[in-house]
């Protein structure tokens, strides 16, 4: 098992890619803490994995610090951080407003910063740790109907590169995954929010993959588990596409 004895924190672990990641890291031997605003889902999964659920709103730095303190009290210092919590509100940019910008940047980009900030100091002191950020191919190719989200995820990719440089001297690694269309409630929110147009946007993403299909959360979780563990001991500052070879849409 690749993560025997490690403590892992997965944000947004109650659903989709985060839940698959929590299950995979637990199967690799980690004790997993799930930080999510969806408390019921987090509790249910933590029960299944003999892990810990805690309420954490990544967009609120106080909530993040309190949750990380609770995790460290209950399980011990965090060895592996997976910044997975994310959200989108599908709309063309001209139809967005500041409230949407704050929400989408707040969860996806500022949230990644807040949780990393709460955990990285300890990792650096212990001279050990691995951070995996869940970005998106939207941050590399740009996604119609998800302009603010694309900007936030591009920010996550830049953040990953810079943290990897700063933290390397403390033997802490930082990488990202860039999923393509993955079958989760988030992906399927586009058809729900935009109807027929959302369905076309989703199909456009699937058609842009070389493999010609959407992915499953477990396929992203496998890449995250690789980056999190010692099999990736010489890998840092990378963004790994887990997108069926998606190039543009």
Contact residues for ligand NAD, defined by CB under 6 A: 11-12, 14-18, 36-38, 56-59, 84-87, 107, 111, 134, 136, 179, 181-182, 184-187
Question: At its nearest, how many Å lie between ligand NAD and the CB of residue 128?
Answer: 25
Pick 45 or 168: Cβ nearer ligand NAD: 45
Pick 3 or 14: Cβ nearer ligand NAD: 14
Q: How many CA atoms lie within 13 A of 23 on its CB side?
A: 16
Pick 55 or 126: Cβ nearer ligand NAD: 55
Is there a contact between 196 and 239 (Cβ–Cβ < 8 Å)?
no
Pick 124 or 203: Cβ nearer ligand NAD: 203
Of 29, 69, 23, 30, nearest to 46 (Cα)? 23
Q: Is 234 annotated as catalytic?
A: no
Q: Which of 149, 159, 226, 249 is catalytic?
A: 149
The β-bridge partners of 36 are 55
Helix-strand-coil split of the chain, %, nearest 5 = 50, 15, 35
Pick 4 or 99: Cβ nearer ligand NAD: 99
Residues 63-76, buried b or exposed e (16+ Cβ, 10 A)? bbeebbebbbeebe
Name 86's Cβ contacts closer than 8 Å, sequence gap at least 6.
12, 107, 108, 111, 134, 136, 186
Question: At its nearest, how many Å lie between ligand NAD and the CB of residue 197?
Answer: 17
Question: At its nearest, how many Å lie between ligand NAD and the CB of residue 188?
Answer: 8
Question: At its nearest, how many Å lie between ligand NAD and the CB of residue 41?
Answer: 6
Q: Coil, strand, or helix at residue 198?
A: helix
The β-bridge partners of 35 are 11, 54
Pick 120 or 187: Cβ nearer ligand NAD: 187
At residue 17's C-alpha, the angle toward residues 12 and 23, to 5°, is 90
Question: At its nearest, how many Å lie between ligand NAD and the CB of residue 111?
Answer: 6
Of 78, 158, 172, nearest to 119 (Cα)? 78
Tell which phi-psi region holds residue 65, choosing left (phi > 0), alpha (psi between -120 and 50) or beta: alpha
Question: At its nearest, how many Å lie between ligand NAD and the CB of residue 160?
Answer: 13
Q: Which two tokens stand for residue 115?
A: 């949780």
| Positions marked catalytic | 149
């Amino acid at each position: 098992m690749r993560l025997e004895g490690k403590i892992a924190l997965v944000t947004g672990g109650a659903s989709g890619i985060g839940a698959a990641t929590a299950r995979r890291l637990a199967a690799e031997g980690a004790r997993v803490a799930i930080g999510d605003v969806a408390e019921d889902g987090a509790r249910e999964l933590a029960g299944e994995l003999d892990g810990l659920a805690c309420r954490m709103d990544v967009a609120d730095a106080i909530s993040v610090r309190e949750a990380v303190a609770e995790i460290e009290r209950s399980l011990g210092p965090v060895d592996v951080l997976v910044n997975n919590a994310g959200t989108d509100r599908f709309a063309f940019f001209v139809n967005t407003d500041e409230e949407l910008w704050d929400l989408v940047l707040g969860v996806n980009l500022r949230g990644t910063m807040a949780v990393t900030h709460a955990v990285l100091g300890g990792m650096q002191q212990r001279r050990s740790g691995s951070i995996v950020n869940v970005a998106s191919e939207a941050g590399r190719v740009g996604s119609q109907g998800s302009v603010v989200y694309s900007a936030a995820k591009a920010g996550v990719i830049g953040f990953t590169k810079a943290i990897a440089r700063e933290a390397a001297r403390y033997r802490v690694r930082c990488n990202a995954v860039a999923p393509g269309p993955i079958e989760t409630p988030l992906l399927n929110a586009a058809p729900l929010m935009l109807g027929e147009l959302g369905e076309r946007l989703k199909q456009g993403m699937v058609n842009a993959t070389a493999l010609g299909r959407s992915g499953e959360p477990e396929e992203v979780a496998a890449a995250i588990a690789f980056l999190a563990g010692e099999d990736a001991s010489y890998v840092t500052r990378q963004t790994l596409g887990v997108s069926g070879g998606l190039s543009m849409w």
